[in-house]
Amino acid sequence: MRVFRRLEEIDPPPEVGSVVSIGVFDGVHLGHQKVIGECRRSAAELEAESFIVTFDRHPLETIAPERAPLRIATLEDRLDWIAETGADAVLVLPFDRRTADMTAESFLEDVLCRRLAMRRIVAGTRFHFGKDRRGDLDYLEARRAGLGFDVLSVAPLLEDGLPVSSTRIRALLAEGQIEEADRLLTRPFRLHGTVARGRQLGRTIGFPTANLAALPRQALPGRGVYVTETLARGQKRRSVTNVGYRPTVSDERILTVETHIAGFQDMLYDEAITLFFLRRLRDERKFSSLEALISQLREDVESALRSEAVQDPGAGR
């Protein structure tokens, strides 16, 4: 898949024209995969290129930062997962003030029709674009004949009677429903970050932990203990991760993400790691003693090692 990070890189426009889908595609979940799949099928039908247009951030991070949702995935993860769908090309637009101020007319005419030679646009029924979200399916229908493209609207994908959306997945993550979130994502939810220096309390009780300094504006699973896999130094290992406040060993109300990697004793300070969340084990709770905590940690690790791995084709990247 070709990746364009500036509009000017697309010169000349695709000779065969393009079929376009537009969105943040945060998580590239089942619903997104349905839209992108329709884009690919349309492109094959028209013998055109399937072109995905996405943004380097959520639009609200520029327009109204206080209302911007937490991110499910990084841009690079989104690009990897879009590539796995088989799309021909993706254009990443920086959603800065210039993009935010672009009118629906300018975006349609200058970006989609002129630069991408769009022959068809594939969009969800709630799709909006352009300044103040003035562009929608009705606007596209009104302009399509004059500009020489057509419109294919895609109904929301329903799972258990509810639309699959990034908002729904964020809510599942916040509630600790990691297995349901993973099902809708079609892969384990992942966290990237670097290992920060902690108080090394875990090492003193025989369970050294890596304290993850997660990326800014990253969605986190709800408080609890999870079976995870940790990618560190190019190798994945089974692990147990606590998201919470460590009530047994600390009175501080600082949310932490701490991971114990089974059978791994090396220091990882300042190194980049990735956590893959597979299953929720239990709630975080305060134990009556360190001995009781240690006993529970042993059970957690044994349970994690017994769990079957969840396959993730992109996990080793």
Query: Residue 178 is which amino acid?
Result: I
Asked if pLDDT for residue 315 goes beyond 50, the answer is: no
Residue 4 reports pLDDT greater than 90: yes
In the numeric block, which tokens belong to residue 53?
């247009």
Residue 297 pLDDT:
83
Query: What pLDDT score was predicted for residue 246?
Result: 67
Quick one: pLDDT at residue 6?
93
Write down the pLDDT at residue 245: 81
Domains of the chain: 2-163 (3.40.50.620), 189-306 (2.40.30.30)
Tell which wins on pLDDT, 307 or 181.
Answer: 181
Q: Which amino acid is at 50?
A: S
Q: Look over the chain and give the mean of its residue pLDDT values, rounded to a whole number.
A: 91
pLDDT at 303 over 70: yes
CB 107 within 8 A of CB 129: yes
- Could you give the percent of the chain with pLDDT greater than 90? 79
Q: Check if the beta carbon of residue 303 is closer than 8 Å to that of residue 227.
A: yes
Distance from C-alpha of 151 to C-alpha of 141, rounded to nearest angstrom: 7
* β-sheet bridge partners, residue 22: 53
- pLDDT the model gives residue 197: 82
Q: Which pLDDT tens digit goes with each residue over 190-216? A: 999 999 986 666 566 668 889 999 888
Cβ-in-10-Å burial (0-12, 13-18, 19+) of 311 comes to: exposed
Residue 293 has pLDDT above 70, yes or no: yes
pLDDT digits (tens, 9 = 90+) for 122-165: 999 999 999 999 999 999 999 999 999 999 999 999 999 999 99
Task: For residue 314, name the pLDDT band (cuts at 50, 70, 90).
Answer: very low
Q: Which tokens belong to 93?
A: 């637009």
Q: What is the token pair recorded at 295?
A: 């006993």
pLDDT tens digits for range 240-281: 999 998 655 555 667 899 999 998 888 899 999 999 999 999
Are β-strands 118-124 and 150-154 bridged in parallel, bridged antiparallel, or unpaired? parallel
Of 12, 38, 13, 45, the residue nearest 23 (C-alpha): 38
pLDDT band at 228 (very low <50, low <70, confident <90, very high): very high
Residue 311 has pLDDT above 60, yes or no: no
Mean pLDDT to the nearest integer, 87-108: 97
